[in-house]
Amino acid sequence: MEANALMITEHPAGNGKKVVQATLNAEKSLNALTLEMIRLLAPNLSRWQQDPEVAAVVLDGAGTKAFCAGGDIRNLYLGMTGEGEDGFCETFFTEEYRLDHAIHCFEKPLIVWGSGIVMGGGLGLMAGANYRVVTETSRIAMPEVSIGLYPDVGGTWFLNRMPGHVGLFLGLTASALNAADCRYLGLADRFLKSDKKGEMLERLQAVEWGDSLEALHHGTNTVLRALEQQSLEAQPESQVLAHFDVINSLMDHYELKDKVAAILALETDDRWLQKAQQAARAGSPAAMVLIDAQLKRGRHLSLKQVFQAELDLSVNCSRAGEFAEGVRALLIDKDGKPDWKFKSLDEVDTAWIEGLFTSPWNGEQPLADM
């Protein structure tokens, strides 16, 4: 384990408190989330929660291009193909989801600086924080349909809580979201210009912090609110809001195949919708069926149940072949020609999909104690 995979800086603040800055430190890989990062961040979160001197935590990524562009796909691929550490996929998903759940439950102010690219595992880190900051450079997506997977890291939770049928549409099309989209969909809380991070840290240090949780949140919110007021003119227009009626119309079918057919049949010059069509056309048919089933089955699950169900699903997907083939084609060999197990929605075997939802554990589920 390399300690510099996560850089931790303690900034002295008012009233004897400190603001902790935790930085995912893998700029070359766009701060892809590794098992080392997870194992450094998880115990520190618990420590910061208990430390009376810690007023707030800021989680960001090295550089300006990305907060976190996803999970450690390359090592997951090695694990799926038998070339890597035995049991790596099971270990990675278990510890990742436990960390994501801990972020959702973290009581002190936790600011995630979601500037630049935020995808997959990065969104898992961001979604549960109580202060999710986006900027004019934020580009957020769950592109799993393109690699034969499904939107995990709590996607069952937050996609199901989006307005209308937007959650399913995003899952099927891997559509990118900007800052305004995220605020509209409940994935972000504040918009700050990307050059405001330094000032944000300075203002947090200048707060005369109280001791109660209420006082800590009051101080944090006051800082972010003031900086947001200076930033709003730079916020882009929401593409999701602009296309909301179209999205709901496309999804206004009972059968999944009719929803996908409507997306593909849409005649439009709109670039955002065209990209959605391209992703749906190239995506894994099995993943589309899986995503539809995931959201239906998970609609009424608790947060804990969501992560437990996703762990079962992700481990099974790591063994089923479709995920590995998608990663090979798009990220390893980069030939862009995945050989999907099923070539169309009509060919997808419902029994095969059902098997992915069956618990893979012989004993107790690893997140049963969460």
User: Does the active-site annotation cover 199?
Assistant: no
14 assigned to active site: no
121 included as an active-site residue: yes
Give pairs for 214-220: CB < 8 Å, separation 24+: 216/55, 216/56, 216/108, 216/109, 217/109, 217/130, 219/55, 219/56, 219/109, 220/55, 220/56, 220/109, 220/111, 220/131
First and final C-alpha spacing in the chain: 25
- Out of 70, 116, 120, 121, pick the active-site residue: 121
71 labelled catalytic: yes
Strands across the sheet containing 117-119 = 66-68, 117-119, 139-141
Which residue in 71, 114, 128, 154 is the catalytic one?
71
Q: Is 47 exposed, middle or buried (0-12, 13-18, 19+ CB in 10 A)?
A: exposed
Q: Which of 60, 72, 96, 144 is catalytic?
A: 144
Q: Considering only CA atoms, which of 274, 276, 98 is closest in space to residue 172?
A: 276
User: Of 90, 100, 152, 312, which one is the catalytic site residue?
Assistant: 152
* Residues belonging to the active site: 71, 121, 144, 152
